[in-house]
Amino acid sequence: MLAFSLQSGSNGNCIFVETGGIKLLFDAGINGVQAEKKLASRGRSIGEIDAVIISHDHADHVRYAGIFQRKYGIPVYITEKTLETASKRLPLGRLNDVRHFSSEGRIEIGGVTVHSLPTPHDSEDSSAFIVESEGRRLGVMTDLGHVFEGLSDAISSLDAVFLESNYDPDMLAKGPYTAHLKKRIKGPEGHLSNIEAAELLASSENLRWACLCHLSEQNNRASVAVATHRRIIGSGLPLYIASRYAPSDILTV
């Protein structure tokens, strides 16, 4: 199993996973030209993608799902509520190949199982994912809301994880956001802080690596996130950062 982030942050999200001969994209928050170039930079073609799986209805995760489907013929896996809500807010356009799943279920694609876990993020029907194939389990877990019941156990079952590490509490408190937005980010339907993410990673002894995702541009820095994680989990676990702009290294499980 191999994976990399094409881009991660409020400006657009997309993660590539390849396993068992199946190539998947998680989320469609970047446009087709960007996706083509970033996949090509890692030796992959968007024409080979078997499915794009959407986590929730926010624009930075679903905005270009219609382009991915129409231009490249990629089936879009999305919950009914997510599609309904996103279609009202965004110009998704016509979708000819939509396949619904439950936010508390699983998707089977060519021998690869993708487990979906409902999350308390402030969207209509948000999901995190576990990709299971050939005895390996990889988590794709962003926009989590808070550390909900079962999340620690799910991460402990993984071999590797893309995990939200959105903000530094001190930077958020002193930053330029309005009081309302600060409350939303750190609230039960917002995002995980560096500290919360690190504490989750510290609870698992099975992880081979973690890639920190969805870092805030205003309220976080890669150096701050890594320093916080190292303070809490030590130096043993390899850590990577998913850039807001560039694809990450190819990571293997």
pLDDT at position 212 is 98
Q: Give the whole-angstrom CA distance, residue 228 versus residue 161.
A: 17
Q: pTM score, two decimals?
A: 0.97
Across residues 4-26, what is the average pLDDT? 98
pLDDT at position 92 is 97
Q: Can you tell me which residue has the tokens 């994209």?
A: 25
Rg of the chain (C-alpha set)? 17
SS3 assignment, position 6? strand
Picking from 28, 19, 21, the residue whose alpha carbon sits closest to that of residue 60 is 28
Q: Give the whole-angstrom CA distance, residue 165 versus residue 219.
A: 11
Residue 216 forms beta bridges with which residues?
none
pLDDT at position 167 is 98
Pairing of the two strands 14-19 and 239-241: unpaired
pLDDT at position 24 is 98
Confidence category of residue 233, pLDDT binned at 50, 70, 90 = very high
pLDDT at position 104 is 95
DSSP collapsed to 3 states, 166-185 = CECHHHHHHCCCCHHHHHHH
Picking from 33, 27, 61, the residue whose alpha carbon sits closest to that of residue 46 is 33
Across residues 118-123, what is the average pLDDT? 96
Across residues 14-35, what is the average pLDDT? 98
Tell how far CA 127 is from the center of its chain: 9
Contact 218, 191 (CB under 8 A): no
pLDDT at position 116 is 98
Across residues 103-118, what is the average pLDDT? 97
CATH homologous superfamily of 2-252 = Ribonuclease Z/Hydroxyacylglutathione hydrolase-like (3.60.15.10)
Across residues 232-239, what is the average pLDDT? 97
pLDDT single digits (tens) 195-209: 999 999 999 999 999
Across residues 245-252, what is the average pLDDT? 97
DSSP collapsed to 3 states, 44-92 = CCHHHCCEEECCCCCHHHHCCHHHHHHHHCCCEECCHHHHHHHHHHCCC
Q: Report the amino acid identity of residue 206.
A: N
pLDDT single digits (tens) 137-175: 999 999 999 999 999 999 999 999 999 999 999 999 999
pLDDT at position 246 is 97
Q: Report the amino acid identity of residue 14.
A: C
Confidence category of residue 182, pLDDT binned at 50, 70, 90 = very high
Instruction: Give CA angle at 70 (100, 68), nearest 5°.
Output: 70
Q: Give the whole-angstrom CA distance, residue 35 versus residue 247.
A: 10
Q: Can you tell me which residue has the tokens 């190539």?
A: 23
Q: Where are the domains of the chain?
A: 2-252
Residue 107 forms beta bridges with which residues?
114
pLDDT single digits (tens) 36-63: 999 999 999 999 999 999 999 999 999 9
Confidence category of residue 247, pLDDT binned at 50, 70, 90 = very high
